[in-house]
Amino acid sequence: MANDLGGSSPARTHKTLWWKEATFFIAFYAVYTWTRNQFGSDRINGVDIPVQAFNNAIRVVRFERWIGLYHEESVQEFFLSHRWFIQLLNTYYGTAHFIVTITVFILLYKKRPDVFPQWRNTLAATTALAIIGFSLFPLMPPRLLDQPCPPLGHGAQCLEATERGLDKGKTNFGFVDTLDVYGGPWDFSSGAGAKISNQYAAMPSLHIGWSSWCAFAMWPLARRRWIRALLLLYPTTTLLCIVVTANHFWIDGVGGQLTLAVGFLIGTGIHKWNQRRLDEKYEAQLLTS
């Protein structure tokens, strides 16, 4: 744009403030945390029974069997004899999800400030869509299908699978709660871990959504092949982890990818709208100066 004197207008610069971004991140995560454990159970005789979450798990099992891809139990069983590997995956599941995402968030702020708002919006939109998914389709993860019902646990052992037409006479799904049996950095069955975690927030998998977000957001910064290989390996390893630890069905990962795709469209749209708004505001300021 040319100014009134015939020269070129200085380019608009928009500086993001770290404290505003940190506040945004913390506030949004607080909302996400507040929604935990709000869905998936029915109160029966004074006890929260996970009827909705269990019924949805049955629907997922039926669908995966219908398409011939219900193999989570077999995949988990293959690795159960390797205790050290299971413990490593339990640690990975409970730490990488947050540490890597926060690290990438900071790197984007420092290294890619031009697109940082776009990817920040994408992360926020993806998480918001996942919260909607948790509320509309609470899903019991495989590891809880054979666990005692509340208040003794979070599982569905007290619910009869035969009444829901899964397998006549079969109430044992065969999954192992690896965190409970093998140990790890977190305990979701009691204490603080049980209070801050949503036991029935399996669909979509934010572990897959966030890990894929990290890989895509960092891709342009990866100049070397081995770094790009690591970026692709991150969501792939996460998918293996959530299946082996029985925290998710594989289809939850598909849900996470689809949620990220829609979140990217929303985040990009918000970013472009905001850029146009700031450009128009800046041009108006130049005209009046």
**pLDDT tens per residue across span 184-200:** 666 555 544 455 566 88
pLDDT at 126: 95
| Average pLDDT score over the chain | 81
What whole-number distance in Å separates Cα of residue 24 and Cα of residue 269? 19
**Candidate ranges 44-48, 183-187, 189-193, 257-261; pick with highest mean pLDDT:** 257-261
Q: Does the pLDDT value for residue 45 go beyond 70?
A: no
Q: Is the model more confident about 73 or about 12?
A: 73
Mean pLDDT of 171-187: 80
Mean pLDDT of 85-98: 93
Mean pLDDT of 27-43: 60
- Torsion sign (Cα): 265, 267, 273, 275: negative
Which residues fall within 8 angstroms of residue 142, CB to CB, at 6 or more apart?
A: 57, 72, 73, 76, 173, 175, 246, 247, 248, 249
pLDDT at 16: 65
Burial (CB < 10 A; 0-12, 13-18, 19+), residue 263, is: buried
pLDDT at 43: 47
pTM (2 decimals)?
A: 0.82
Range from 51-60, 123-132, 180-189, 222-231 carrying the lowest mean pLDDT: 180-189
**Candidate ranges 44-58, 133-147, 243-257; pick with highest mean pLDDT:** 243-257
What whole-number distance in Å separates Cα of residue 255 and Cα of residue 239? 12
